[in-house]
A and B are shown apart, each in its own frame.
Chain A
Amino acid sequence: MTAPQTLYQKIWASHVVATANPSEDRLLYVDRHLVYEVTSPQAFEGLRQAGRAVRRPELTLAVADHNVPTENRARGIDSIEDPQSRLQVETLERNARENGVRYVPLNSPRQGIVHVVGPELGLTLPGTVIVCGDSHTSTHGAFGALAFGIGTSEVEHVLATQTVIQRPSRNMLVRVTGMLGAGVTAKDVVLAIIGHLGAGGGVGHVIEYAGPVIEALDMAGRMTICNMTIEAGARAGLIAPDETTFAYLARTPLAPKGDEFEAAAAWWRSLRSDPNARYDRIVEIDGSAIEPMVTWGTSPDAVTTIGGAVPNPADEPDADRRAQIERMIAYMDLRPGQKLAGLPIDMVFIGSCTNSRIEDLRAAAGVIQGRHVAPHVRALVVPGSGMVKAQAEAEGLDHLFLSAGFEWRDAGCSMCLGLNPDRLSPGQRCASTSNRNFEGRQGPGGRTHLLSPAMAAAAALAGCLTDSRTLVP
């Protein structure tokens, strides 16, 4: 009898290419390779210089998302005014064309953030291995796929070999028990987990999420959780596929259909950790106790509840940690002990691969209730894909946002990292549904507070950080 296996071990075992390699390293077969404009040009160039071909272009999907403007999309590539950004997108188009890689053009209704587009198309399937030159590839783990970010050299390796050199990670189980309170979302859960583990707490691990709170989440919520796994240092998050997963997949265009779907689902049902499977670490979080969360510092683990306050560095015994807290408080222009609720903000960003799906936009729109964005606040809503945008418009969400004073944009990564024209000015404070609050992440000198879509919408309306639960009946 084989030893009990975790979900991670099962996917790993089914993707190891048998080789004579004597080291611990393994070639792990890649089922889906996602590429975008920023981290792929040097990889394609490397292939060209070495005279190598793309081994499986038909398993490779290219989408431009990081650089793309979120206005005037109908103009396609002509909407990109920055010549460097335009060159990157043109280079992606050329590399896709020359190598037979599947490409979603800028003016396609399918274009969007690659981690939104892949699942939407049904390319993200349970039990597959998915890589992309982007750390938020962890998103796809929500489907029980082993998905992780890689560097550009590894992108080149995958293009050439359809494999990635890996060795087994340690395996952590994070079980979220209980039931979330009203107005508490997946974003709050993952911020609470990151706060608990620390920004480096998951280094070297793949994290599997389980427990009643995770099981009760829809796919959008599960993607939010797996997406931010990297902010705890773990490369991949995993959630065992279940009926929620299968119902989502059944609605996607490229998932198997009919009898083949049933055959696939039978296989997918086996993709769960065996009873008594061994983990290197098990963490339990009481989901019932989680409150709406907001970050105060410049690391995603610098987080507290909306009722909480900025910590006092004087209370920190470790000198390095104390210096780090002081540095974060200074950068964020806060005071020790300052309450977060009531902190005035200048910008709101609702979007990113963390929180730009239709469920996220509904949650944000649900807070509006006839109110208007505060006069001193600019608020951007950036759908994760053209399909999300179309769905939102079919539901009338665009009118809700626009009449409340939000800007309604085209799909892309946008102000999550400010590689396109959407970015903060120095000193601006932003309530953002994105994933990183690093110094200058959303623009040089910008200050980011990470929170959920409902909390971001509430901040836009109130003009300051506020508990969204007080705005919803």
Chain B
Amino acid sequence: MTPFTTFEAVAAAVPLANIDTDMLVPARFLKTISREGLAEALFYNLRTADPDFALNRAPWTQAGILVALDNFGCGSSREHAPWALLDFGIRCVIAPSFADIFQQNCFKNGILPITLAPEPVAALMALATDPATAHMRVSLLNQTIAAGDTLATFHTDPECRKRLLGGLDDIALSLRYADDIAAHEQQAHINQPWIRAIPGNIA
């Protein structure tokens, strides 16, 4: 995973609540067996239906940050949504709230989801709609967003922040506890022996 420390980019405003992962990546793009090449899929239906959609217009065709409303990323657990954001070049999403699974998927892919109160989101949204002020600098080290004269501060969960800053591999970290996992398995088998292997001839 690419570490996230500081990131500078144009921010695009998508002033919608409940942006679901079907909007982010419609189902027909889920037939891939790769993580790559999903930039085209990002917001496909909105981008094709509306020439004025933010990501269709300069300078937001180069957007690296999204500003949106409540419950961003709701719906399906498809990790294709953050993969498409990454492939497009977006590494930070700012919203008043995020769906749980999407938020986790962001952290696993080096994308920073920033949760802010509705008022600062509205202020950043306004800045993002004007090409003159849409450029923003996000620092995960300082937990700040700088946009022109505006400086917003945010809080990231310390553990998620540590993993993003270091670009750490979750699996390698967890495998250090392989002995603890094995001990748990032994005890669980004593407590609940009926949770068995699934037979090989299941079908």
Question: Given contacts A19-B177, A39-B77, A153-B79, is CB(A438)–CB(B23) below 8 Å?
Answer: yes
Q: How far is the CA of A38 from the CA of B45 in the complex (A)?
A: 20
Find B31's partner among A55, A135, A419 (CB 8 Å cutoff).
A419
B180: chain A residues at CB < 8 Å are 17-19, 27
- Nearest-neighbour CB distance to chain A for B178, whole angstroms, equals 8
Chain A contacts with B in 69-97, Cβ cutoff 8 A: 82, 84-85, 87-88, 91
Find A324's partner among B17, B192, B202 (CB 8 Å cutoff).
B17
Q: Is B197's beta carbon under 8 Å from chain A? A: yes
A111: chain B residues at CB < 8 Å are 203
Pairwise interchain contact B20-A438, C-beta atoms closer than 8 A: yes
B98: chain A residues at CB < 8 Å are 203
Find B28's partner among A55, A320, A419 (CB 8 Å cutoff).
A419
Question: Given contacts A102-B200, A102-B202, is CB(A419)–CB(B185) below 8 Å?
Answer: no
- Nearest-neighbour CB distance to chain A for B113, whole angstroms, equals 12
Per-position 1/0 for B4-41, Cβ under 8 A of A: 00000000000111101011001110111111000000
Pairwise interchain contact A256-B45, C-beta atoms closer than 8 A: no
Find A39's partner among B78, B178, B184, B196 (CB 8 Å cutoff).
B78
Identify the closest chain B residue to A205 (Cβ). B100
Question: Given contacts A29-B185, A102-B202, A153-B105, is CB(A440)–CB(B30) below 8 Å?
Answer: no
Question: Given contacts A320-B69, A438-B75, is CB(A108)–CB(B203) below 8 Å?
Answer: yes
Pairwise interchain contact A104-B194, C-beta atoms closer than 8 A: no
Pairwise interchain contact A264-B194, C-beta atoms closer than 8 A: yes
Q: Is A163's beta carbon under 8 Å from chain B? A: yes
Pairwise interchain contact B101-A235, C-beta atoms closer than 8 A: yes
A21: chain B residues at CB < 8 Å are 177
B75: chain A residues at CB < 8 Å are 135, 230, 436, 438
Pairwise interchain contact B18-A324, C-beta atoms closer than 8 A: yes
Per-position 1/0 for B175-203, Cβ under 8 A of A: 10110110111001001111111111011
Per-position 1/0 for B123-162, Cβ under 8 A of A: 0000000000000000000000000000000000011000
Q: Is A470's beta carbon under 8 Å from chain B? A: no
Pairwise interchain contact A200-B70, C-beta atoms closer than 8 A: yes
Q: How far is the CA of A84 from the CA of B202 in the complex (A)?
A: 27
Identify the closest chain A residue to B172 (Cβ). A50
Pairwise interchain contact A84-B31, C-beta atoms closer than 8 A: yes
A133: chain B residues at CB < 8 Å are 77, 79
Q: Is B170's beta carbon under 8 Å from chain A? A: yes
Q: How far is the CA of A104 from the CA of B98 in the complex (A)?
A: 35
Pairwise interchain contact B17-A149, C-beta atoms closer than 8 A: no
Q: Is A165's beta carbon under 8 Å from chain B? A: yes
Pairwise interchain contact B33-A105, C-beta atoms closer than 8 A: no
Question: Given contacts A27-B177, A440-B45, is CB(A320)–CB(B15) below 8 Å?
Answer: yes
Identify the closest chain A residue to B1 (Cβ). A153
Q: Is B104's beta carbon under 8 Å from chain A? A: yes
Chain B contacts with A in 94-131, Cβ cutoff 8 A: 97-101, 104-105, 108-109
Q: Is A215's beta carbon under 8 Å from chain B? A: no
Q: Is A427's beta carbon under 8 Å from chain B? A: no
A352: chain B residues at CB < 8 Å are none
B188: chain A residues at CB < 8 Å are 14, 29, 31
Pairwise interchain contact A203-B101, C-beta atoms closer than 8 A: no
Pairwise interchain contact A31-B195, C-beta atoms closer than 8 A: yes
Pairwise interchain contact B184-A444, C-beta atoms closer than 8 A: no
Pairwise interchain contact B27-A417, C-beta atoms closer than 8 A: yes
Q: How far is the CA of A24 from the CA of B196 in the complex (A)?
A: 30
Q: Is A2's beta carbon under 8 Å from chain B? A: no
Pairwise interchain contact A42-B35, C-beta atoms closer than 8 A: yes
Question: Given contacts A17-B184, A125-B195, is CB(A203)–CB(B202) below 8 Å?
Answer: no
- Nearest-neighbour CB distance to chain B for A315, whole angstroms, equals 18
Q: How far is the CA of A163 from the CA of B158 in the complex (A)?
A: 21
Q: Is A341's beta carbon under 8 Å from chain B? A: no
Identify the closest chain A residue to B96 (Cβ). A200
Q: How far is the CA of A444 from the CA of B18 in the complex (A)?
A: 18
Identify the closest chain B residue to A436 (Cβ). B75
Pairwise interchain contact B197-A439, C-beta atoms closer than 8 A: no
Q: How far is the CA of A58 from the CA of B201 in the complex (A)?
A: 11
Per-position 1/0 for A201-240, Cβ under 8 A of B: 0011000000000000000000000000010010100000
- Nearest-neighbour CB distance to chain A for B188, whole angstroms, equals 7
Find A18's partner among B35, B183, B199 (CB 8 Å cutoff).
B183
Q: Is A398's beta carbon under 8 Å from chain B? A: no
Q: How far is the CA of A161 from the CA of B185 in the complex (A)?
A: 11
Pairwise interchain contact B159-A25, C-beta atoms closer than 8 A: yes
Pairwise interchain contact B198-A102, C-beta atoms closer than 8 A: yes
Pairwise interchain contact A254-B198, C-beta atoms closer than 8 A: yes
Pairwise interchain contact B32-A441, C-beta atoms closer than 8 A: no
A-B contact pairs, 26 of them (CB 8 A): A17-B181, A17-B184, A27-B174, A27-B177, A29-B181, A42-B33, A45-B33, A50-B171, A52-B175, A55-B181, A58-B198, A61-B202, A84-B31, A110-B202, A110-B203, A152-B79, A153-B170, A200-B74, A203-B97, A230-B75, A235-B100, A235-B101, A320-B69, A419-B27, A440-B45, A444-B45
Q: Which 9 pairs, one residue from A and one from B, show the smallest C-beta to C-beta distance?
A: A200-B71, A58-B197, A153-B108, A108-B203, A84-B31, A41-B33, A256-B194, A151-B105, A149-B77
B interface with A by C-beta (< 8 Å): 15-18, 20, 22-23, 26-28, 30-35, 45, 69-71, 74-79, 82, 97-101, 104-105, 108-109, 158-159, 170-171, 174-175, 177-178, 180-181, 183-185, 188, 191-200, 202-203
A interface with B by C-beta (< 8 Å): 14, 17-21, 23-25, 27, 29, 31, 38-39, 41-42, 45, 50, 52, 55, 58-61, 66-67, 82, 84-85, 87-88, 91, 102-105, 108, 110-111, 121, 123, 125, 127-128, 133-135, 149-154, 156-157, 160-163, 165, 199-200, 203-204, 230, 233, 235, 254-256, 260-261, 263-264, 267, 299, 320-321, 323-324, 327, 417-419, 436, 438-441, 444
